[in-house]
Amino acid sequence: MEEEKPLIGSTPKSTGLCGPTGAIYRYTVLLVVSLICFGSYFAYDEIQPLEEPMMLALGYTNVTGEHNKFGILYSVYSFPNMILVFFGGLLGDKIGLRAAGFIFVILVWIGSVLVALGPQLATMKLLAPHNAYILTAAGRTVFGSGSESLNVIQTSMVSRWFAGGRELAFAMGLVLSMSRLGDFLALALAANLADWFGSFKYALWAGTVLCTLSFLSVIIYSLLDKRAEKFYPNRTENAEENAINFKAVLHFDPRFWLVSIVCMCYYGGIFPFVAVASDFLEKQYGYHSTKAGYYSSIITLSSMVLSPLLGKFLDVVGRRPYFVALGSIAVIPAHIALAFNMPYPIIPIIVIGLSFSIVPSALWPSIPIITKEKELATAFGTMAAIQNTGLTIINYAAGQIADYKYRYVMLFFVLMDSIGLLFAIVLIIVDRAKGGQLSSVAGKKAPMTHISEETPPPINYES
């Protein structure tokens, strides 16, 4: 078993291998944290395979003509999070991650109940279909208000336990894999659950059950984290000692803004592509919907499998900005190949999947290295807000371009990829000028700038 490592900004009292400072305890916490957003990711996309029966139950008999009504269920989730995740991060730094986690997971659970309840009441004729649709949309709004902020809190929890050592990228990669597993299972199993149990309503309630698992995970994490407090100086979550600091964003490291812009531009070329990939393959390559769906799922599957492995690799070698640039370079020719309908689209799709495994594994663990611990949730919330704002605009633009030709959409993604690559190169230059912390292996180089002035630098684990 691996040598014990301290949490960020503290010198722990030794408690043995299984105690709060031991590796077994730390990885138990990681397992629990990885389940916090598993349910919310499942509930987010479970409605996609159930669109037709769900909308029929809500009174929209012409599904094609009323497709925009279904799209609204995604819009009411996304639009508030252009801003709400920023305040979610602020709240996490103010009242502590445990308390904030409770607030947001409760919103997720309530939202998932309302989403399942709307069609249920409509089919039981206890609520008019139009009112049931409003209830469902309200549920998606409440769900979204908690889900994205819960993701910010989850990422901050991982950073709390693993920053300062050489396991952060691996830990974040594992958590990301579990979340994407929830998303993948929703797309793969929701329709099957409806068939097995005889109604789509049971598939919707499956999302609520898994959100209950998320709620229980927050409780277990809180108990484990609370028990560990006394073994780590400067680790108590006292809301009275913290102030909501809106000005924190004004003194974030310049590299934080570069990482956030790269994240927005890079994801702007990936997420909208994943959303249209199946339809693109059907129309441009003439694939059957089953084959197109299988090909498009490769991107999520490869990321789900490879993210922890690549995270561990990056923990060992460092060089995060260089791998961000490498992943950004790789995705450009892949999108160009698809734009011009080159044979064997599975090859560029696999390349996109590999890139989608590399870049997030290098981007997200960079934030704790250049951010003070007391402002970490605010940083992740700000980064998520920038990402969501960009994706909202980019998704809309891609949809408008798709009305003309898919080739233009792919070239639009190439443009986003290229802008992301440009900022990744700038990130490399700026990081080198400021001491190269993002390129270093955590624990081996000079003290990281996220450690507050009152706390000692991280221990060199190889000494």
The CATH number for 122's domain is 1.20.1250.20
Residues 419 and 279 in one domain: yes
What's the structural domain count of the chain?
A: 2
Residues 287 and 350 in one domain: yes
Residues 300 and 217 in one domain: no
The pLDDT of residue 183: 86
44 within 8 A of 63, measured Cβ to Cβ:
no
Residues 215 and 283 in one domain: no
Q: Say how far apart CA 82 and CA 84 lie, in whole Å.
A: 6
Residues 358 and 284 in one domain: yes
Residues 202 and 129 in one domain: yes
The pLDDT of residue 186: 86
Q: Which of 406, 367, 380 is nearest to 286 (CA)?
A: 406
Residues 218 and 281 in one domain: no
The pLDDT of residue 124: 85
Residues 326 and 436 in one domain: yes
Q: Does residue 347 belong to any structural domain of this protein?
A: yes
Residues 358 and 437 in one domain: yes
| Owning domain of residue 71 | 16-230
- Of 174, 197, 230, the position where a domain reaches its end is 230
Q: Does residue 452 belong to any structural domain of this protein?
A: no
Q: Say how far apart CA 107 and CA 115 lie, in whole Å.
A: 12
Q: Does residue 245 belong to any structural domain of this protein?
A: no
Q: To which H or E segment does residue 43 belong?
A: helix 38-45
Q: Say how far apart CA 200 and CA 190 lie, in whole Å.
A: 8
Q: Does residue 244 belong to any structural domain of this protein?
A: no
Q: Does residue 5 belong to any structural domain of this protein?
A: no
- pLDDT tens, position by position, for the chain (463 residues)? 344 344 444 445 555 556 777 788 889 999 999 999 999 999 988 887 887 888 888 887 654 445 567 778 878 887 888 889 999 999 998 888 999 999 999 999 999 999 999 989 988 888 888 899 999 999 999 999 999 999 999 999 998 888 766 788 899 999 999 998 998 888 778 888 888 888 888 889 999 999 999 999 999 999 999 888 877 666 666 555 555 566 777 788 999 999 999 999 999 999 888 877 877 888 888 887 778 878 888 888 888 889 899 988 988 888 999 999 999 999 999 999 999 988 899 999 999 999 999 999 999 999 999 888 888 888 999 999 999 888 888 877 887 787 677 888 899 999 999 999 999 999 999 999 998 989 887 544 444 443 333 333 333 333 2
Q: Say how far apart CA 32 and CA 253 lie, in whole Å.
A: 31
The pLDDT of residue 36: 95
Residues 41 and 179 in one domain: yes
The pLDDT of residue 279: 77
SS (H, E, C) 70-130: HHHHHHHHHHHHHCHHHHHHHHHHHHCHHHHHHHHHHHHHHHHHHHHHHHHHHHCCCCCHH
Residues 414 and 269 in one domain: yes
Residues 256 and 218 in one domain: no
384 within 8 A of 144, measured Cβ to Cβ:
no
Please, what is the angle between helix 289-317 and helix 346-363, to 10°? 40
- Of 198, 230, 262, the position where a domain reaches its end is 230
